[in-house]
Amino acid sequence: MVLFALPLGQPLAASGLGALSLAIDRVEHPAFAVRDLKIQFPPGGSASVGMGRLRIGEHQWRNLQLVCARGSLDAAVLRCEQGRLRVAGAASPLRIDFRLDLSDRSGELTVLARDGARVQVRLLPNGAVEADVRRFDLATLKTWLPALEAWSVLGRFDGKLSWQPERSVTLSGRLNGAGFGSSDGLRAAEQLVVDVGVEALWRAGGWDWSASSMWHEGAAYLHPFYIEAGPQLVASGRLKGNGLDIVEASIRLEGVEQLAASATVDTANGLVERAAVALAGADLAVVGPRWLSPVLAPAATERLQFAGHVSGALEFAQGRLLALDAVFDQAGFSLRGADGGTGVAFGPLSGHVPWR
C-alpha cells in the first residue's frame, strides 16, 4: 500500500529552477516498510531519498539518507543510480541502485559494498522476493543478531533466497572461510566450508521445514571435542509459534552406520522439552578416540584403544534421562600403562543393557 501525504496547497511540481520534491507517508511491502519517505530531485539529474524509518523484518533504522548520482520519477516508477547510503554495521557507505514501481510494489535492487559483497533483489508484484547474495560478510550479522557479538563470527556467504509471504521460503548457499570463537576459548572453528539448504512451506498457521548441511573443509573445537570436516546433516520438522518440532534429524559421521535424533523445543525459553537419540552400528575403533577418549581419559587419549561395535538409544524429557538402551557387540577397551607400566583392559563384551 502506498499513501501520498502532501500538505494541502503544497504543489507537487518543479520549482523555477527545475527542482521537484515529493513526500510519501508510507510504502508497504511484505518484505519491508518505509515511513516518511521524502524524495528530492534538484537540478542536474541527481536525487536524494530520505527515510524517516525503514523496517525489514523485525529490524528497523531511522533517519536514513540515500544520495543518488542520477535519479528520476517516471509516472509511478522511482529510479536511483550510483546511490550512496551509510548504515550501522557497514564500514563504508553502500553503493545502491534500484528501480521501484510504487503502483504495484515491484522492482529491482542492487547493493554493493566496498569489500566486494553484492546483493541483488527482485521484488515481484505478488509480494514475493528473490535475492542473489555474493561474498556477504558474516561479521556484519552481529548488527542484526546482537547475540553473535560474543562469538567473533567471520567468513563469507554466497547463495540464493526465495520468499513468498505466508507460502514458502527457500535458502541455499555456501559458507566460505567461516569461523567463530568464544571468549573462553572452549568453542572455536576456522576455515569452514559448508553447504547449507533450508526449505519451508506455510501450512495451518506454521512452517513445515527441512534443512541440510554438508561440511567440506575446516575444523572446530567444541570442548572437549576436536571435529574435522566430513559430517552431513539432514533434518525436518515444524515451527509454529514458539514450538519447534524436530521430527527427524540424521547425521552422517565416520564410523557410524546411522545417527538420528528428534526433539521438541520451546524457543521462547530456550528449553528442550523432549529429545530422543538413536545410534546404530558405531565402530568403537573409529568413534572411540574421537568422541569417548576426550571425555573418559583426556590426558591419556594416545594410550586408550577401543574395539567392537555399539548401538543404542537415549530418551530425555525436561532435561532428565528417561530411558537408555545399549547393545554391545564384541565391545571393549584397553589402556596402556604410562612409561611401560601395567595397563588395564576390559572386554570383549556382547549383550543388551536396558535402563528405565
Give the tens place of pLDDT for each residue, 19-68: 688 888 988 888 889 999 899 988 888 999 999 999 987 788 889 999 99
**Is residue 203 situated within a structural domain?**
yes
Same domain, 293 and 318: yes
**Is residue 211 situated within a structural domain?**
yes
**Is residue 73 situated within a structural domain?**
no
Tell me the mean pLDDT in the region 271-279: 96
pLDDT for the residue numbered 16 = 43
**Is residue 47 situated within a structural domain?**
no
Q: Is the pLDDT of residue 278 over 90?
A: yes
**Is residue 305 situated within a structural domain?**
yes
Range of the domain at 200: 141-240
Last residue of a domain, one of 181, 209, 240: 240
pLDDT for the residue numbered 5 = 35
Last residue of a domain, one of 240, 272, 306: 240
Same domain, 291 and 324: yes
pLDDT for the residue numbered 6 = 34
pLDDT tens by residue, 122-176: 999 998 999 999 999 999 888 778 778 889 999 999 999 999 988 999 999 999 9
Same domain, 203 and 288: no
**Is residue 157 situated within a structural domain?**
yes
Spatial neighbors of 135 by CB under 8 A, at least 6 apart, are: 115, 116, 117, 118, 156, 157, 158
**Is residue 53 situated within a structural domain?**
no
pTM: 0.84
pLDDT for the residue numbered 18 = 58
**Is residue 302 situated within a structural domain?**
yes
Pairing of strands 225-228, 206-222: antiparallel
| Residue-averaged pLDDT of the chain | 90
Q: Cα 176 to chain center, whole Å?
A: 14
Same domain, 164 and 236: yes
Same domain, 268 and 354: yes
Same domain, 219 and 293: no
Same domain, 204 and 270: no
pLDDT tens by residue, 63-96: 999 999 999 988 889 999 999 998 766 668 899 9
Instruction: Report the number of distinct structural domains present in the chain.
Output: 2
User: 8 pLDDT band (50/70/90 cuts)?
Assistant: very low
Spatial neighbors of 339 by CB under 8 A, at least 6 apart, are: none
Same domain, 353 and 258: yes
Same domain, 293 and 347: yes
